[in-house]
């Protein structure tokens, strides 16, 4: 529904700008991985296919598995072929894309996950911290041992933010819950993810979330008949009985908006220096769900409805209702609620977010500390 509205809105916008002139926009994507990775690159390419189907005036192409150091030569090639808008979708493409933006002032660039911009180069990213928080609420209700397992890729602020949000959610429902973390130091390694999950199970964890580009943790959890939250792509089909919910991305939310604005002339090669899109629940960049359109697996809905807690704000409420209320509050355009709402202390007792404030965008992007309830190693943890 939201997607339909979004598309409708974008179409209206285009119509309103009164662009009768027939022109074709040639747009290219440069991917770091293979489109078949079923994770990061796969999600971007799904979005590319959606925008191509949506806009008749669009002609797209892509280049996959581009080594990070070689992005410039691929951009040269695309510009020579007449591509006017180029998306580069890996952090490591940042400097190469910036150099190209300066070299080709008539081409529009957008770089995913970086922080360097230029008058003809925007940045964009989607972030899951809100969704992890919502998943955490459910995980806190579902754990019997009080130990929730999290298989994590790299100890960087993005993951720390996600794990913290997840733990905040879990402890809102179950104040004694612990989130046990294991790092595998790789974005993609099914064997490592499996062994890390098995190690967590041996320690008594009975509910799982993760950051790794494969459905491995979902499969391990299902094998042990434990509930789990999918990551990045819809993983419901891998374990229909055990995937409770998960984090899903809608890159097309950005691509549709950005390309429509270029087509309509609102974005051009002179005014992108401040364009930094962050995909969240309120703008449709991310979605909470076991599958698209399935926020919570129907098999788990009764379990969550039966779990009644005494909530400091809502009073007696079922966890299912709590999740839905929080989802509504976070997705609200006014941003009524955010998981990182003070007071929040880190696990060493240092006050990180004072009462009455929220973590700022910069604080979210540079988060290194761990909230209370997170158990396990935390490389780079600040002492003060």
Partner 1 sequence: MSGWESWLVGTVSRALAFGTPLLWATLGEIYAERAGVVNLGVEGMMALGAFFGFAMAKVTGNPWVAIVLAALAGGTASLLHAFLSVTLRANQYVSGLALTMFGLGLSGLLGRGWTGQPLFHSLKSISIPGLSHIPYIGPMFFQKQSVLLYIGVLLALAMWFILFHTRWGLAIRAVGESPATADAMGINVFAVRYLCVFIGGLLAGVAGGFLSVEYRPAWTEGMTAGMGWIAIALTIFVAWNPLQALGGAFLFGALYHLSYRLQQYVSPELLKTLPYVAAILVLSLTATGAARRRRGAPAALGIPYVRGER
Which residues sit at the interface with partner 1, rule CB under 8 A? 34-38, 42, 182-186, 188-192, 194-196, 198-200, 202-203, 214-216, 219, 233, 237-239, 375-377, 379
Q: How far is the CB of 377 from partner 1 (least distance, A)?
A: 5
Q: Which bin fits 162, alpha (ψ -120 to 50), beta or left (φ > 0)?
A: alpha
Q: Which is nearer to partner 1, 21 or 202 (CB)?
A: 202
Q: Which is nearer to partner 1, 57 or 185 (CB)?
A: 185
Q: Residues of 138-165 as b/e, b for ≥16 C-beta within 10 angstroms?
A: bbbbbbeebbbbbbbbebeebbbbbbbb
Q: Which is nearer to partner 1, 171 or 194 (CB)?
A: 194
Q: How far is the CB of 375 from partner 1 (least distance, A)?
A: 8
Pairing of β 286-288 and β 243-249: antiparallel
Q: How far is the CB of 121 from partner 1 (least distance, A)?
A: 30
Q: How far is the CB of 254 from partner 1 (least distance, A)?
A: 22
DSSP state of 291: B
Please give the Cα distance from 84 to 109 (Å, whole number): 8
Q: How far is the CB of 68 from partner 1 (least distance, A)?
A: 17
DSSP state of 358: B
The dihedral through the CA atoms of 276, 37, 153, 147 has a sign that is positive
Please give the Cα distance from 257 to 126 (Å, whole number): 14
Give the H/E segment covering residue 328: helix 319-331
Please give the Cα distance from 122 to 271 (Å, whole number): 9
Counting beta carbons within 10 angstroms of the beta carbon of residue 303, is it exposed (0 to 12), middle (13 to 18) or buried (19 or more)? middle
Please give the Cα distance from 342 to 339 (Å, whole number): 9
* Torsion on CA atoms 272, 274, 121, 87, rounded to nearest 10: -100
Q: Which is nearer to partner 1, 203 or 321 (CB)?
A: 203
Q: How far is the CB of 221 from partner 1 (least distance, A)?
A: 12
Q: Which is nearer to partner 1, 134 or 151 (CB)?
A: 151
The distance of Cα 10 from the centroid of its chain, to the nearest Å, equals 22
Q: Which is nearer to partner 1, 52 or 203 (CB)?
A: 203
Q: How far is the CB of 188 from partner 1 (least distance, A)?
A: 7
Q: Which is nearer to partner 1, 48 or 117 (CB)?
A: 48
Q: Which is nearer to partner 1, 123 or 216 (CB)?
A: 216
Q: How far is the CB of 52 from partner 1 (least distance, A)?
A: 18
The distance of Cα 320 from the centroid of its chain, to the nearest Å, equals 22
Q: How far is the CB of 314 from partner 1 (least distance, A)?
A: 35
Angle at alpha carbon of residue 212, lines to 153 and 30, rounded to 5°: 100
* Best CA proximity match to 111, nearest among 90, 129, 128: 90
Encoded tokens for 285: 């960049």
Q: Which is nearer to partner 1, 186 or 321 (CB)?
A: 186
Q: How far is the CB of 79 from partner 1 (least distance, A)?
A: 28
Q: For the chain, what is the total number of helices (H) and then of strands (E)?
A: 12, 17
Q: Which is nearer to partner 1, 195 or 276 (CB)?
A: 195
The distance of Cα 22 from the centroid of its chain, to the nearest Å, equals 35
């Amino acid at each position: 529904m939201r997607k339909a509205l979004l598309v409708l809105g974008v179409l209206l916008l285009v119509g309103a700008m009164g662009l009768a002139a027939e022109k074709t926009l040639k747009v290219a994507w440069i991917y770091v991985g293979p489109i078949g990775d079923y994770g990061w690159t796969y999600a971007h390419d799904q979005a590319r296919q959606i925008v191509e189907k949506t806009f008749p005036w669009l002609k797209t192409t892509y280049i996959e598995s581009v080594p990070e150091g070689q992005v410039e030569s691929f951009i040269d090639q695309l510009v020579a072929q007449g591509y006017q808008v180029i998306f580069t979708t890996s952090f490591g493409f940042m400097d190469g894309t910036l150099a190209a933006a300066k070299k080709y002032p008539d081409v529009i660039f957008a770089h995913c996950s970086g922080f360097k911009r230029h008058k003809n180069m925007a940045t964009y990213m989607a972030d899951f911290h809100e969704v992890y928080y919502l998943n955490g609420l459910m995980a806190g209700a579902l754990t019997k041992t009080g130990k929730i397992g999290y298989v994590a890729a790299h100890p960087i602020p993005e993951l720390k933010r996600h794990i913290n949000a997840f733990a905040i959610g879990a402890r809102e429902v179950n104040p004694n819950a612990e989130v046990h973390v294991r790092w595998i130091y790789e974005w993609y390694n099914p064997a490592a993810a499996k062994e890390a999950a098995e190690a967590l199970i041996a320690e008594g964890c009975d509910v799982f979330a993760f950051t790794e580009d494969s459905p491995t943790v979902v499969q391990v959890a299902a094998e042990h008949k434990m509930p789990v939250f999918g990551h990045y792509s819809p993983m419901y089909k891998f374990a229909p009985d055990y995937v409770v919910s998960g984090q899903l991305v809608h890159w097309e939310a950005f691509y549709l908006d950005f390309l429509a604005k270029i087509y309509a002339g609102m974005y051009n090669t002179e005014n992108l220096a401040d364009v930094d899109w962050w995909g969240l629940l309120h703008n449709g960049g991310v979605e909470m769900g076991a599958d698209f359109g399935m926020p919570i697996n129907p098999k788990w809905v009764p379990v969550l409805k039966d779990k009644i807690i005494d909530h400091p704000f809502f009073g007696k409420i079922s966890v299912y209702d709590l999740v839905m209320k929080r989802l509504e509050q976070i997705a609200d355009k006014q941003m009524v609620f955010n998981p990182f709402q003070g007071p929040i202390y880190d696990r060493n007792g240092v006050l990180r977010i004072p009462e009455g404030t929220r973590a700022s965008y910069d604080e979210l992007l540079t988060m290194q500390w761990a909230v209370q309830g997170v158990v396990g190693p935390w490389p780079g943890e600040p002492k003060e």
